[in-house]
Amino acid sequence: QLQLQESGPGLVKPSETLSLTCTVSGGSFSSSSYYWAWIRQPPGKGLEWIGSLYYSGSGSTYYNASLKSRVTISVDTSKSQLSLRLSSVTAADTAVYYCGRLIKASDAVEYWGQGTLVTVSS
């Protein structure tokens, strides 16, 4: 059974960089049948796709156009970890951040992490 667990600081200061890690157990990043994503949910709002990474040897990334200039998603296969970096954060970036694995054939999020709340505040 695949398990995903997000981790990182729960509090980030405005203008700083948010860094989160998603540790994956029970599965591999390299399967061509899946891809990986970061998704967030601001308090009281809906889900927002942040970006995706398809690891088929090279690690192609795709980002939400509204966040593209500030987002970096990467993978460390030796640690089975997916990472998210979001720079120049503001209060609007306060959210529960989820990592997920999507089925490539259907673009559905088959597995989700539990989510981690990140608050942007001084």
Partner 1 sequence: QSALTQPRSVSGSPGQSVTISCTGTSSDVGAYNHVSWYQHHPGKAPKLMIYDVTKRPSGVPDRFSGSKSGNTASLTISGLQAEDEADYFCCSYVSSFTVVFGGGTKLTVL
Q: How far apart, in whole angstroms, are the C-alpha atoms of residue 21 and residue 24?
A: 10
| Shortest separation between residue 9's beta carbon and partner 1, angstroms | 20
For the bound state, the minimum distance from the C-beta of residue 33 to partner 1, rounded and expressed in Å, comes to: 13
What distance in Å separates the CA atoms of residue 106 and residue 35, rounded to the nearest whole number? 11
Element (H, E) at 44: none
Q: List binders of partner 1 among 60-89 (CB under 8 A).
A: 60, 62, 65
118 close to 20: Cβ distance less than 8 angstroms: yes
The residue (of 52 and 94) whose beta carbon lies closer to partner 1 is 52
Q: Are strands 11-12 and 116-120 parallel, antiparallel or unpaired?
A: parallel
- Of 24, 55, 98, 118, which lies in the binding site for partner 1, with binding defined by CB under 8 A? 98
Min dist CB 92 to partner 1, Å, is 15
Dihedral of CA atoms 77, 104, 44, 74 in degrees, nearest 10, equals 20
Interface residue with partner 1, options 49, 59, 70, 81 (CB under 8 A): 49
Q: Which residues bind partner 1 (CB under 8 A)?
A: 35, 37, 39, 45-49, 52, 54, 60, 62, 65, 98, 102-103, 106-110, 112-115
